[in-house]
Each structure stands twice: as C-alpha cells, then as structure tokens.
Amino acid sequence: MAQQIRRIGVLTSGGDAPGMNAAVRAVVRQAKEHDVEVVAVYEGYKGLIEGNTKLFGMRDVSNIINKGGTILYSARSKEFKTEEGMIKAVETCLRNGIEGMVCIGGDGTFRGATDLTRRGIPCIGIPATIDNDIASTEYTIGYDTAMNTAIQMVDNLRDTCESHFRCNVVEIMGRHSGYIAVNVGLATGAAQIVVGELPFDEERMYEEILIGKSRKKRHYIIMVAEGVKGYAEELTQKIEERTGIETRFTRLGHVVRGGSPTLRDRVAASRMGIAAVDYLLEGKSNMVVCMHGENISSMDIEYALMLDKMYKNKLKDGDLKKYNEEEVARMRAYCDKKAAAFKKLYNQALDISQ
Ligand code: F6P
C-alpha cells in the first residue's frame, strides 16, 4: 500500500442514517491499523467551516456500532457552497493537518467532497442515506434499517385496519425515490403502491379495493412514496368516498430514520468505512464507495453524480460533453438496467397485492 497520508478527517453530512456510526468506527479503526490519525469533524461541512473538530482515538468510537443517528452530528450547510465557506473549510483541514477526508452522506455530501478535492484535500465519499437514491450504488447505509423499522409500523397499522375494516394510506419517506415504498409495500402486503417514478392507475385501485371488499377483505394498506407530494392525504379522502371504506392517513416520517442499525447496515457500513480508508491510502481521491451485490468498488464522484442526474432525468445541456460516446452509452445502459429492475420489482409487488 503506497502510504503517505498521516492524518485524515471524517464527517457525516446531510440526513442522518442508521449505520453512519458503524462507518465512522470502521474509518477510525482501519486508519489506526495503518498508523494514521483521524480527526473527527462535527456537524458535517458546517463544522468543517467552523473548525469544530476533535482528534479521535479508539475510545471515541467504542460502543457506537449499535447506535442510530450519528455521533458526529449532521447539518445541511448553505455556507459551504460559497467561496468564503470553502476557504474556511480548507483552512480547517490545513490547520488540523488533515491530508484526506472521508465524507459520509448522500449526493449533496458528494458534491461537497468534490469541491474539497478540487481545492487540494483528497476526499472519498461513503453513501449513507435511508433513501437508497444514489444511482452509482445498489446500496446506501441506513436503507435496510429504515425499511425494517417501517415494516414493523405498517404491520401494526394492518392489525388495527383488520380489526376495524379500514383502509390506511401510508406516506413513507424516501425523498424523490420510491425504493423504500416499493420494498416496504411488498413486504407488508400493501394493496397498492404509489411511487413518483412510475405511472399509477387510480381507477384500477378503486376497482381492486371494491373486489377485495366483496370478498370480505378487511384491511387495506396503500403505500405512497413521499416523492408524490401531497397525494397521500388527497387519496385518503377519495378512497373513502369511492369505496365506502373508512380510511385513515399515516405519515411515516423521521421515525423511520432513527434506531439501531440492522446487521446489513452494520456490515455494509463497516466494509465501506474500511474501503474508504484503503482508497485514501492507495492515493485515490474524488471517489465514491459503491456496493453492487456484495462487491465493494470505487467510482469517480463526478461520474457518479452524472449517473445520478441521468437516472433522475436531471441532465442539463452540455453536462455530458466531457464523456465520449462509448462512456455515455455505458452510463445509459447502467441507468436503463437499474430503472428496469425497479419497475420489475414494482410490478411483482402489484401482481401479488390482490
Ligand atoms: O434523505 C433522507 C430524508 O429523510 C428523506 O427521506 C426526506 O425527504 C428528507 O431526508 C427529510 O429531510 P429533513 O430531515 O431535512 O427534514
């Protein structure tokens, strides 16, 4: 391993996610394995600007692998996007002898990591968000825990629906992504799932609920992804009017973001934390750690962000100009495959929903 770095920094940024602590722990321990010191930065990029840091030892990461949230705290910083903020952040790195950074969070965190790399601080990003909405990786830390928390809650709702012969429309977090909604919908036997990425046939839903009613089905869970803004509440009223079934609305918000991480999140976070340190020590920078199946790899952050834009149909004119035809075709094929897998899962969930 070509090791030159003696001290690295670690921060968590954006929405917290269960497993972030396991990632921080792995970063500190793996760094220690290679006699590299770790400076913890509190409150993400805001803390980097304000110089809110602490030199971490092994004791600082003891007894945290099982803890939800992030012991480094998090914040969404607007100042970091300004030139002045950037300069202060780089100054903090230099003052603390930070020669490389591990930035744990979502796509906003990666944009920050790229900015920092451009200003001379090599960064590696670790994907952590309950939303699993980062196109470059199949898995993001926190996703599994959030879904497992959610299924317990939806199971509880089913109990009370069944008792009262009711329908419950459940809005669930995920920002613009329907991954949580589809998986939780499938895992809880939802009668319908509504996500922003795919069309939804409202009339067919009423027909199916009425068929269920004629067969004396007593509980109906309708899962709606948060990304379909405002729709869940509107639907609650309409279902009652159209089917005569008493209908309630439940929003599963931040409650699914907390809690002790599942085994899957602890393992993924630990492996990603180790990989991030290894990449820095190998001299890599401006990379994001990705996970496909059980395989951990790295991808250039800017490429990863571009994939993300492509997947989410957010590309602007000229965005792809630095990539050749072959690269663009490869990116499109990747996004198409991912979208097709999502659609397949959605259809499978609906196929067995009635
Ligand atoms: O990205 C995680 C997430 O919980 C999303 O699911 C949700 O849309 C958003 O963050 C909420 O953000 P905030 O915590 O700033 O309200």
Q: 259-304: per-residue pLDDT in tens?
A: 999 999 999 999 999 999 999 999 999 999 999 999 999 999 999 9
Measured from the CA of 174, which atom of ligand 1 is nearest?
A: 6
Tell me what pLDDT residue 2 has. 54
Q: Do 12 and 135 fall into the same domain?
A: yes
Contacts of 269 (CB under 8 A, 6+ apart): 19, 20, 21, 22, 23, 26, 126, 128, 141, 261
Q: Is the CB of 108 under 6 A from ligand 1?
A: no
- Which own/partner pairs from 295-298 qualify as long-range (CB within 8 Å, at least 24 positions apart)? 296/271, 296/272, 298/124
Q: Do 53 and 161 fall into the same domain?
A: no
Domain count along the chain = 2
Q: Is the CB of 16 under 6 A from ligand 1?
A: no
Domain membership of residue 340 (yes or no) is no
The structure's pTM equals: 0.96
> Which CATH number covers residue 239?
3.40.50.460
Domain membership of residue 173 (yes or no) is yes
Q: What is the mean pLDDT of the chain?
A: 97
Q: State the Cα–Cα distance between residues 198 and 175, nearest whole angstrom.
A: 15
For residues 124-128, give the mean pLDDT.
98
Contacts of 240 (CB under 8 A, 6+ apart): 167, 246, 247
Q: Indicate which residue of 16, 107, 115, 131 is catalytic.
A: 131
Domain membership of residue 100 (yes or no) is yes
Q: Do 136 and 23 fall into the same domain?
A: yes
Domain housing 252:
145-257
Q: Do 52 and 195 fall into the same domain?
A: no
Whether the per-residue pLDDT at 77 is higher than 90: the answer is no
Active site residue 155: no
Q: Which residue has its alpha carbon closest to ligand 1 atom 15?
A: 15
Tell me what pLDDT residue 148 has. 98
Q: Do 115 and 195 fall into the same domain?
A: no
Domain membership of residue 196 (yes or no) is yes
For residues 9-14, give the mean pLDDT.
97
Q: Do 113 and 32 fall into the same domain?
A: yes
Each residue's pLDDT tens digit, 188-226: 999 999 999 999 999 999 999 999 999 999 999 999 999
Domain membership of residue 349 (yes or no) is no
Q: State the Cα–Cα distance between residues 323 and 301, nearest whole angstrom.
A: 14
Whether the per-residue pLDDT at 43 is higher than 90: the answer is yes
Tell me what pLDDT residue 94 has. 98
Q: State the Cα–Cα distance between residues 253 and 149, nearest whole angstrom.
A: 11
Q: State the Cα–Cα distance between residues 167 and 240, nearest whole angstrom.
A: 8
Q: Do 135 and 284 fall into the same domain?
A: yes
Q: Is the CB of 174 under 6 A from ligand 1?
A: yes
Q: Do 135 and 265 fall into the same domain?
A: yes
Tell me what pLDDT residue 4 has. 85
